Structure 1
Amino acid sequence: MHWTRSESKFIQEITQAVTRIVNRTYLNVAKHPIGVESRVHAINMLLSVGMNDIRMIGVFGVGGIGKTTITKAIYNLNAYQFEDSCFLANVRETSKREFGLVQLQEKLLYDILGESSLKVDNVDRGINIIKERLCSKRILLVLDDVDQLAQLEALSGESGWVGLGSRIIITTRDKHLLTKHQVGLTYKVKEMDHNEALQLFSWHAFKKDKPIDGFVQLSEHALRCARGLPLALVVLGSDIYGRSLHEWKSALDKCKRLPNKNIHKILRISYDDLDDNEKDIFLDIACFFKGKDADYVIKILDSCGFFPDIGIRVLTDKSLIAIEENNRLVMHDLIQEMGREIVRQESPKEPGRRSRLWFHGDVRYVLEENEGTNKIEGILVELPKRDLIHLSSKAFTKMKRLLLFINRNACFSGGPNYLSNELRLLDWPEYPLQALPSNFHGKKLSVFRISHSLFKELKEVFENFQNMKIMELSDFLDFSGTDIVSLPASIKRFIGLERLILQDCKQLQEIVELPPNIKEVDASGCMSLENFPEASKKFQFNACNLKALEWIDLGGCHKMLVNIGNHVADPLLGKGQFKDLLGGIIFPGNRIPDWFSHHKETANTNSCEVDINGLRYMDEVVGIALCAIIGPNLLIGQEKPLHLIGVKINDNEVQERWVDLMGSDHVWLEYVIFESFKPKEDNMQVKFYSYLHEPVFFKSCGVHLVHKHEENVKDHDPALLHENVDVHLDVPNEEIENSELDSVDGIQLSKRRRQDDDGGIRESILHPQHKRGPLTSGVQIADL
């Protein structure tokens, strides 16, 4: 029988494929591969092995999350579909050895080519051989635990190094490393869910898929310690397998204070790869700032000279921290424990010789026994419950390098006679003295909070605080004997100050001077406040010096009602200065300014919508003025809750504010400039809302579009302003059919009848106030 060349080649390919399958050696994945299948499926979707392109896929996540286990399973599942395959494990560790990269190159070439005699003299020679010998082969290559770009450049520099249809999988803790190597497809391995974690833990703790009787609650405790990290679940389960109930409790209590050394060792690898600046940032977040607003933390760390913008990005890329949608810094509990253990190991027996203190027992010991040293850079006072600390007056004397002091819930029997002039953050509610130590000039202070404190005189406090960015004096004027009625003029020298919180300063009567770069002023609850000239100027186009001011909270400031409420600016009078109004204000009141072109009264609802249809000349629109009258939900309790309110335009979130309505109606006014965002549709939907769990009630709302040349709008053709503007509540058709229509100045008003809850009939009329209307052809206002 004679075979053609193509037939012979076909038979050879079949023989090679069968040989690969028969001779294939599977990698050991895991004894209990819980949760692996779903993650393998997700990555396989990225691989798309049937496609004939070349793909690099990056798998990243924190140490111990299961990256290697998952990629082993992927390798076992797919290797037979490739001409040749190679799994290079422990790239990071191997590369640290002398000639480590060369050894990895030789293993790669041997696994793909099968030539044991092939030797590589150096990395550069290895790169050339890999490019020459693998460029036509369809291979599967896994590079496991990569941490340096040089490793990738030596083993898989470019997609052209391998043949069509090849797949290269890279596992790493550093997402940015994948970016630098231009890996376009990535998969982040996330923590196990509760069911997966319970199964994995149970297999190692009980040798079955669920806890045995009597150990269910302790198992839940263990899951809380592990927080979905597979490594921790395996280690904890194995360590307490076969132990008594009492030993279980002891082991889990120990985990709260002392991390397991095997878990700590794995997690610390990512920390050890950081530079000194990044290590400082990581330890500060682990010890003090987990769960805090990222912008706030960046301000503090920047004042410490830590370059936090790039530092936090590096920590995020290495999966040591994350920033949630609400801008909060989050960190896995075990990673936090790892960081705190690093600090504890600085001086295991003497807490006063550590760089950071956070554990309440250590903090109390150091402050009461005067055991502080110049090693301490930060202290967090957070007791299990509110309690008294008998502070030694000399407790801070030796802490010459103290940068951060945060008191969350302690009372102090006395105050310090010394504070470090290196302090950047002083957060001490109920500060026990009427003045700061005489030695303290505060020239490096960035954040200063002394709420509920005994200060009587502010002039000396402000004298030297040049670098202030956040100042909170919340409630500090509530105490008997205080007679402060205004802020000292020296506050205007704080050019770095962005937020000033004067909440519930009940004797404060005026705010005359403010720093030039202030962004937010919270004077809510200042019941005696009468004079705040810059607030009036800001919203009336007068000569306001506070160009950066974005938010003023005058909640509960009823004496400001006349000064602000009756004199809100008409932006049409601004003659191009509308851009200077960016921001918002809230103050007591119950009336929307007359100049709003569209005004609607509503029932007490937690949201309302304004639909503006048939818009014309949107290129002429520079922004929008928004106003709502809101009242509190009085059914949610006697305490003063904070309410989250917001507004959207065409489903784009424009602004959200936290407000305290102090039990009465308030006016909320916002000016929005269309710069980065501008509606492109002919229709615009404006929605005011509050969140359902603690809603406010919207009683009326107003919308006004502002045009570039609207000061001359009176000269426009009236037909361009309104064409049969129809304003009505969004109600069922049968209700509209039964409604009566009235006409005022040619504008149709919908009068409708509605049955109240008590069975009575209520009649309401909605009317736009169109003294200066937007260029619209119709307005429909819907009640949600």
Structure 2
Amino acid sequence: MDVLFFLLWSRYEAAFIKNLVNKIHYQIDLKQLSTPARMTGMETRVKAIDSWLNNEQYNAIAICGMGGIGKTTLAKQVYNLNKENFDSYSYVEIGTHSKDSLLEKQKQLLKDILGEEKMRIASDAQGAQKIEEVMQMKNVLIVLDDIDDPNQLSTLLGTKAFLTQSKIIVTTRLINIDVWFMSKSWRCKVHKLELLNDLESLELLSWHAFGSKVPMEGFKDLAVELSQCCGGNPLALEVIGSSIFVSDEDPDKIIIMKNNFKDRINSFTSFKGDIDSDIQVGTDKIEGLALNMLKVEPSMSSQESTIRLNLSKPTQ
């Protein structure tokens, strides 16, 4: 009997310790989600979401906008700054690029908000039911990034109407996503993310093109021209700025590039309409268009290094 009791107690003790370790690991797991080093204009945008967090009338907020406008970056920043204020939290990447099924997303979500390493879920319906139960018991922060189908919300948040103090952040291009939340008797605030203004655009472009908050001396006109062509879209500004990165380490290179930029600067205006139309419809072609527009082609020799701007019309 003593041996049997010892074995049973040892097994119970091992399970207890394992469960305790998992819970402690969850409590100290405060790793920050990765965000860009330069987030121009982010402080103002975070304040808008913070006001929603403090508003008890809204359970959910949908950050809406075109591709590349910064929805994911904003959601990550809000998550990083506020997650410790909740009993538990979870950031789940959805979208068409995700390899995991919605069932796997459910398991990740439940693992995060329950603090349990392994989750046994037989079906989507069972997973949704468990998530509903947790949200009624705990005050949780959930971010669902890149929702492109309301059915994804049904799978991840369930379909029953119930009261909760939890907060749900959704990023999406769907402007009418708030209609889905009405079925759960939740109020969803639609937050249409605005494009960067002229000053913010110039600053972001400068960080990527010159490594500073302002354009390098002699390049201001080019920077202003490019930032205006990007229409305030952060992704376009980042891609274009990085494509023409200028270093002040070699004065000879600066002279060569400055002369090339001055010779070509008037040609950039022909691309403004192309970028504006893509930004207006919010297509995924922004990055490809920007890279084609500003293709950097280095031609190295022992004497000098020249950079040419490819200003040919991008292929559609």
By the TM > 0.5 criterion, same fold? yes
- Check whether the contact 2:38–2:207 (CA below 8 A) recurs between aligned residues: yes
CA shift, 1:121, in A, is 3.0
- Does structure 2 retain, via aligned residues, the 8 Å contact 1:102–1:123? yes
CA spacing shift, 1:178–1:137, aligned 2, 3 Å: same
Q: Secondary structure at the match of 2:178?
A: helix
The answer on 1:55 being equivalent to 2:59 is yes
Deviation at 1:123, TM superposition (A): 1.8
Instruction: Provide the residue aligned with 1:164 in structure 2.
Output: 164
Q: Does 1:34 align with 2:61?
A: no
Please give the secondary structure, in 2, of the residue aligned with 1:241.
coil
For 1:205 and 1:142, the matched residues in 2 are separated by: 32
Q: Tell me, yes or no, if structure 1 residue 43 matches structure 2 residue 49.
A: yes
Q: Is 1:201–1:233's contact at 8 Å kept on the other side of the alignment?
A: yes
8 A Cα contact 2:230 2:272, kept in partner: no
Equivalent residue number for residue 258 of structure 2: 245
| Partner Cα distance (1:258, 1:121) in 2 | 52
Task: Give the 5 Å matches for 1:351-366.
Answer: none
The 5 Å alignment of 1:307-318 reads: none
Structure number with greater Rg is 1
Q: Hey, what's the Cα distance between the residues in 1 that align with 2:131 and 2:50?
A: 26
1:121 equivalent in structure 2: 122
Partner Cα separation in structure 2 for residue 68 and residue 259 of structure 1: 26
Give the aligned partner of residue 150 of structure 1. Answer: 151
How far did 1:73 drift?
0.9
Change in CA separation of 1:257 and 1:222 when aligned onto 2, cut-off 3 Å: closer
- Is 1:214 aligned to 2:218, yes or no? yes
Q: Of residues 81, 85, 98 in structure 1, which corresponds to 2:85?
A: 81
Amino acid at match of 1:74: V
| Richer in strand (by share) | 1
Q: How does 1:216-231 map to 2 (within 5 A)?
A: 216-231=220-235
SS at match of 2:137: coil
Whether 1:189 and 2:133 are equivalent positions in the alignment is no
For 1:236, which of 220, 236, 240 is the aligned residue? 240
Aligned to 1:3: none
CA contact (8 A) 2:143 2:169 kept: yes
Write the mapping of 1:524-543 to structure 2, written as runs, cut at 5 A: none
Give the letter for the 2:68 counterpart: G
Q: Residues 126, 253 of structure 1: CA spacing in aligned structure 2 closer, same or farther, 3 A cutoff?
A: farther
2:180 matches 1:180? yes
Aligned to 1:334: 278
Determine the C-alpha separation between the residues in 2 that align with 1:159 and 1:57: 19
Q: 1:187 to 1:137 in 2, by over 3 A?
A: same
Q: Deviation per CA, 1:63-83, whole angstroms, max 9, x where unpaired?
A: 111111111111111100000
Q: How far apart, CA to CA, are the structure 2 residues paired with 1:337 and 1:216?
A: 29
> How far is the alpha carbon of 1:126 from its aligned partner?
1.7
Tell me: CA distance 1:54–1:221, structure 2 relative to 1, closer, same or farther (3 Å): closer
Alignment check: 8 A CA contact 1:60 1:171 kept = yes
Q: Is the 8 A contact 1:225 1:334 kept in 2?
A: no
1:92 Cα shift? 3.7
Correspondence for 1:774: none
Do the aligned residues in 2 keep the contact of 1:86 with 1:142 (CA within 8 Å)? Answer: yes
Q: How does 1:410-449 map to 2 (within 5 A)?
A: none
Q: Which residue of 1 aligns with 2:16?
A: none
Contact 1:54–1:165, Cα closer than 8 Å, also in 2: no
CA drift of 1:179 comes to 2.5
The correspondence for 2:72, drawn from 68, 71, 88, is: 68
Deviation at 1:237, TM superposition (A): 0.4
- State the Cα distance separating 1:47 from its structure 2 match: 1.7
Equivalents in 1 of 2:194, 2:81: separation in Å?
21
1:198 partner letter: L
Q: Is the 8 A contact 1:227 1:333 kept in 2?
A: no
Overall identity of the aligned pairs, in %: 31
Q: Is the 8 Å Cα contact of residues 60 and 189 (structure 1) preserved in structure 2?
A: yes
Query: Deviation per CA, 1:470-500, whole angstroms, max 9, x where unpaired?
Result: xxxxxxxxxxxxxxxxxxxxxxxxxxxxxxx
State how far apart, in whole Å, the 2-side matches of 1:108 and 1:259 are: 43
Assess if the C-alpha contact under 8 Å between 1:240 and 1:248 holds in 2.
no
Q: Structure 1 pair 83/186, CA: closer, same or farther in 2 (3 Å)? A: same
Q: Distance in 2 between matches of 1:197 and 1:36?
A: 12
- Stretches of structure 1 that go unaligned for 5 or more consecutive residues are 1-16, 265-331, 346-361, 363-784
Q: Could you tell me whether the CA contact under 8 Å between 1:259 and 1:338 is conserved in 2?
A: no
| Superposed displacement of residue 23, structure 1 | 3.2
Q: Residue 205 of structure 1 contacts residue 237 of structure 1 at CA under 8 Å; is this kept in 2?
A: yes
Q: Is 1:140–1:167's contact at 8 Å kept on the other side of the alignment?
A: yes
Measure the CA separation in 2 of the matches of 1:208 and 1:59: 29
Please name the residue that 2:131 is paired with.
130
For 1:167 and 1:336, the matched residues in 2 are separated by 30
Tell me: higher relative CO, structure 1 or 2? Use CA pairs within 8 A at least 6 residues apart. Answer: 2
Give the Å deviation of 1:44. 1.1
2:141 alignment partner in structure 1: 140
- Give the SS at the match of 1:128: helix
Match of 1:23 in 2: 29
CA RMSD after TM alignment: 3.4
Q: What is the one-letter code of the residue matched to 2:123? A: N
Q: Is the 8 A contact 1:191 1:227 kept in 2?
A: yes
- Cα distance in 2 for residues equivalent to 1:186 and 1:338: 18
Q: Is the 8 A contact 2:89 2:113 kept in 1?
A: yes
The 5-angstrom pairing of residues 492-641 of structure 1 reads none
Q: 1:28 to 1:158 in 2, by over 3 A?
A: same
Pair 1:256–1:106, CA change in 2 (3 A): farther
CA contact 1:259–1:337 (8 Å) conserved in 2: no
1:18 CA displacement: 10
Contact 1:110 1:118 in 2 (8 A): yes
Contact persistence 1:135–1:160 (CA under 8 A): no
Shift of 1:132: 3.1
Letter in 2 for 1:147: D
Match of 1:369 in 2: none
Counterparts of 2:155 and 2:226, CA distance in 1? 42
Query: Are 2:128 and 2:155, in contact at CA under 8 Å, matched by a contact in 1?
Result: yes
Q: Distance in 2 between the 1:223 and 1:235 partners?
A: 11
Task: Quote the offset at 1:256 in angstroms.
Answer: 4.0
Deviation at 1:204, TM superposition (A): 0.5
How many Å apart are 1:100 and its aligned residue?
1.4
How far apart, in 2, do the equivalents of 1:21 and 1:132 lie? 21
Distance 1:19 1:37, change over 3 A: farther
Letter in 2 for 1:335: I
Query: Structure 1: how far apart are the matches of 2:206 and 2:86?
Result: 37
The offset of 1:144, in angstroms, is: 0.8
How far residue 20 of structure 1 moved from its aligned partner, in angstroms, is: 6.8
Q: TM-score, normalised by structure 1?
A: 0.29
1:694-716 CA-to-partner distances (Å, cap 9, x unmatched) read xxxxxxxxxxxxxxxxxxxxxxx
Deviations 1:180-228 (A, max 9, x none): 3335311111011111111111110000000011111111110121111
How far is 1:27 from its partner? 1.2
Structure 2: unaligned runs, 5 residues or longer: 1-22, 247-253, 290-312
Q: SS at the partner of 1:171?
A: strand
2:198–2:228 CA contact under 8 A, matched in 1: no
Report the TM-score when normalising by structure 2: 0.69
Per-residue Cα deviation, 1:306-362 (whole angstroms, up to 9, x for no partner) = xxxxxxxxxxxxxxxxxxxxxxxxxx44336988x89xx9xxxxxxxxxxxxxxxx9
The residue aligned with 2:209 is 205
Secondary structure of the structure 2 residue equivalent to 1:150: helix
